[in-house]
Structure 1
Amino acid sequence: MKKIPVDCPCCEAKLKVAKLVCDSCETEVVGKFSLPVLMQLTIEEQEFVLNFLMHSGSLKEMANQMGKSYPTVRNILDDLIRKLKSLDHTNNGGRNRSI
């Protein structure tokens, strides 16, 4: 699966969505829309979040499935939480919001 780019290939600034189009009636919505925080994660991080949800948040089950120790999976989750908070903080112009 190819990931939609979230950073500018020239200057590395965050990209914004400029236009949305309806496939059915071809209505267009034009503006500058921020990408969702989860979309800004790597493919691996997105897959981790999906697995976390599919396992109802059971890190023990995830560790078994991934073939890793519970503390390793916990550390991956903690790193991901930190990254999500940082992305959310950046996307909200420095304002904190509960995640």
Structure 2
Amino acid sequence: MKLPIFCPSCDHNLNVSQMKCPDCGTLVNGDYELPTLLKLSREEQDFILNFFLSSGSIKEMAKQAQLSYPTMRNKMDDLIDKVKNMQQEN
């Protein structure tokens, strides 16, 4: 099941309010902001995971996706800008 990150009513970021240990049933309650990477779309998270799994090689990612290096670099730069903007909002 995909973790919801946006409110279905107003489209703002959701916060975590409860977590549960599946082993002992302990509940932790509070109002916690999601980490930056979890605020990204599933596609953006997959992009970052693929970057990590390709040992940080944009060239390798471009090859696997059958895209040009500049196209992949632009995708990376756009994602970097988005993450920087998210961090500045905090």
Indicate the TM-score class for this superposition, using the shorter chain for normalisation: over 0.9
Q: Specify the code of the residue in structure 1 equivalent to 2:79.
A: L
Whole-angstrom CA distance in 2 between matches of 1:77 and 1:85 = 12
Partner residue, 2:36:
37
TM-score with structure 2 setting the length: 0.92
Name the count of aligned residue pairs.
90
Q: How far apart are residue 3 of structure 1 and its match?
A: 2.9
Q: How far apart are residue 89 of structure 1 and its match?
A: 1.9
Unaligned runs of 5+ in 1: 93-99
Q: Specify the code of the residue in structure 2 equivalent to 1:65.
A: Q
Q: How far apart are residue 14 of structure 1 and its match?
A: 1.6
TM-score with structure 1 setting the length: 0.85
Whole-angstrom CA distance in 1 between matches of 2:2 and 2:44 = 12
Q: Specify the code of the residue in structure 2 equivalent to 1:7.
A: F
Identity fraction in percent: 49
Unaligned runs of 5+ in 2: none
